[in-house]
């Protein structure tokens, strides 16, 4: 179990990983171990915050059992009684963390170790390291089409030319603390990323390969409405720039 969040102003490790989970008892250990192996391979200091967002399975129990047999690993479990959503937990994790950098790693364990290593090797090369995918395995054609349309829509609204907005960039943790995430829904990554570009944060895009999960529920009415709200917010920000700056 976890204690109350603490705002760490110091940065004691290279990177804090935030792993959000909802019913990921079958996958979370794999996600943990890939991140740890990648950090050891690249030589980066790290900590990992696992957020169990009110799962109905044994996600927390699985993590606790893993912690018991890996007591030297800097892994903290935060078990929530009420589902808060990944955007809210993303910000809360930044306040708990101690890393100079900060990254979300999905609890469904879709990223290979090589992806983690490639990102870690670029740490510090820019304020943000933004992955984009030359291939997304197991993704259906209609999800690929929707993903491309989403990217074009955000680029049109923002005036930027980012290749991919949902690839879990590496941020400077202090930027997450300073600017937070305004959206609470599915579009929060694009909204936050474009905000940081507006704030003149530098970025570097790197090509990677990813895998999609079967039975993804990311496309539904609630998330579509959230995306529409985020795109509208991004467009308004651009309009303010054009009119007043």
pLDDT value for 74 = 97
> CA 118, CA 164: separation in Å to the nearest integer?
17
Architecture of the domain whose range is 13-244? Alpha-Beta Complex (3.90)
Q: Flag whether the pTM goes above 0.95.
A: no
Q: Where are the domains of the chain?
A: 13-244
pLDDT value for 3 = 46
pLDDT tens, residue by residue, 173-207:
999 999 977 777 778 999 999 999 999 999 999 99
Question: pLDDT over 70 for what percent of the chain?
Answer: 91
3-class secondary-structure state, position 103: strand
Residues in the chain: 245
Using the predicted structure, report yes or no on whether residue 210 has a pLDDT greater than 80.
Answer: no
pLDDT value for 145 = 86
pLDDT tens, residue by residue, 221-240:
667 777 888 888 899 888 88
pLDDT value for 2 = 46
pLDDT tens, residue by residue, 93-137:
999 999 999 999 999 998 999 999 999 999 999 999 999 988 777
State the burial class of residue 98 (Cβ atoms within 10 Å of its Cβ: 0-12, 13-18, 19+): middle
């Amino acid at each position: 179990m976890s204690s109350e969040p603490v705002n760490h102003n110091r940065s004691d490790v290279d990177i804090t990983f935030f792993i959000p989970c909802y019913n990921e008892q079958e996958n979370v250990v794999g996600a943990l171990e890939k991140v740890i192996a990648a950090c050891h391979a690249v030589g980066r200091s790290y900590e990992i915050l696992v957020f169990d967002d009110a799962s109905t399975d044994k996600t927390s129990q699985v993590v606790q059992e893993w912690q018991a047999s890996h007591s030297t690993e800097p892994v903290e479990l935060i078990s929530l009684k009420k589902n808060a959503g990944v955007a809210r937990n993303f910000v809360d994790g930044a306040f708990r963390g101690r890393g100079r950098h900060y990254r979300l790693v999905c609890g469904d364990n879709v990223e290979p170790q090589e992806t983690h290593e490639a990102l870690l090797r670029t740490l510090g090369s820019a304020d943000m390291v933004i992955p984009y995918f030359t291939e997304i395995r197991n993704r259906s054609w209609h999800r690929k089409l929707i993903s491309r349309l989403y990217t074009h829509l955000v680029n049109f609204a923002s005036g930027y030319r980012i290749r991919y907005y949902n690839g879990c960039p590496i941020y400077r943790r202090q930027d997450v603390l300073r600017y937070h995430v305004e959206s609470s829904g599915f579009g929060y990554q694009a909204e936050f990323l474009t905000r940081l570009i507006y704030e003149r944060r530098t970025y570097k895009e790197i090509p990677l390969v990813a895998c999609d999960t079967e039975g993804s529920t990311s496309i539904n009415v609630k998330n579509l409405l959230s995306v529409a709200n985020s795109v509208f917010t991004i467009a308004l920000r651009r309009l303010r720039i054009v009119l007043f700056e």
